[in-house]
Structure 1
Amino acid sequence: MKIMVAIKRVVDYAVKIRVKPDRTGVETQNVKMSMNPFCEIAIEEALRIKEAGLASEVVAVSMGPVQCVDTLRTGLAMGADRGIHVEATAPLYPLSVAKILKALVEVEKPGLLLLGKQAIDDDCNQTGQMVAGLLNWPQGTFASKVVIDKEKQEVTVDREVDDGLETLCLNLPAVITTDLRLNQPRYATLPNIMKAKSKPIKKFTPQELNVDVKPDLEVVEVTEPPKRKAGIILSSVDELIDKLKNEAHVI
């Protein structure tokens, strides 16, 4: 079985986000970029499935500008066998990404498609669900545990929901999106970083995949959230109740 993993290049989680002066988006020039943390979890889970003898190949996929190749190399250094880069200069929104993944699935014929449950830049949490719908594949979102039965060609997914845990049994091929508690991603070792430089990365364009990536969304304006007022220390419960009643008007 082949596993395809979608990974996204985002502003590093430790960077303080700055909005552009013209409010068209966030500043990405000279800003540290890295792999989306949820995508790291997806790559790690794919590698563990392969190491357990349940998969033969892990293919990492990224789409966007040429710099996405660096993110792919990180996935290859973690242990992925090869990469696919779909080069696009315009912003890609979830539906366009889902359409590209569908086209790549038709080319690669994987038995499992893994994605992070969401990206930390837009927090859309849409691509996995959309690509499952386009492929008409079963889906297990917010996975905190994944168990594959190779003989039955099934995968059991524990997913985190508001009421606790829900267990799903899905027929393969399937789409799974990964949650934080699924695993702890490994660090790429120096030998694997060197090996990743020689691993193949195949390039496509959306046009070669016959995918129209015309945006279905328009960003009107990006603004920072309003600054919160400084808190105050109160001396008694009575004073707190008075302020909640007469200033905040919440009671």
Structure 2
Amino acid sequence: MTSVNKEASMLPSTSKEAAVYYGAYNDLPEEVNKYKEELGIEKPAQNVFVESFLRRTVTSKRRVDQEIRNILSAKAIVMDVVKPKKVPTETSMKQRKSLTAKERRQLKIYDIKPDHQKYTIYEPLHYLWKDYIRDYLQILPEKGFNKQTLEKLLKADYHGCIIKVTKSKCPSYVGTTGIVVQETKNVFKIITKDDILKTIPKVNTVFCVEVQSLLVTLYGNHLRRRASERSVKKFKSKPTIDL
């Protein structure tokens, strides 16, 4: 009784809807039955037209009915190019992984050990720096510096240079002299003749450097970059405000 009511509720209510309903779901005319054998339609089933099309178009003998059914029952094929995901290996993870700034500080990579904080160790480095700055600037002491040479001084590397603090907003830094052993964006780390490692900030500090018997004044505010970045930077001429 319940099934009859369900079927009755699914039937169209108006006569116009009923004509469309019965016309859409009626069997094919008898005239079409004679083409069933040519089309390869044996029984109504899902994908029957696709199967008949494949039988008529696929000429390879290896394509049997079972393979056609496997193709039809396969999953949807993505037509876009999908790159397979690469499984990261241990070697690739080691190569790509780099230490963060926090991890470097924890491991103390850039800290100089107390045994290496001796002035005599870095004296050979200073002699190398003197050869480097002479070849880099290519100046004659009697002619002095020109504008191009001054720009080169801002781009030069000062590792191994003997540097002296002449002015600073912190009076305790004034007069400190030593060999530059490390340079970062904002500080110079120098080793004095007393084998003491001191960190001198560049901000609001004026340094003095001897280059081929000529004294050069360097403003720390102009050097607030790493040595590698400073070598490729184009500096603009700006007025210098003294401390």
Q: Normalising by structure 2, what TM-score? A: 0.22
Which one has the largest radius of gyration? 2
Q: Of the two structures, which has the highest relative contact order with CA contacts closer than 8 Å and spacing of 6 or more?
A: 1
Higher helix share: 2
Higher strand share: 1
Q: Normalising by structure 1, what TM-score? A: 0.21
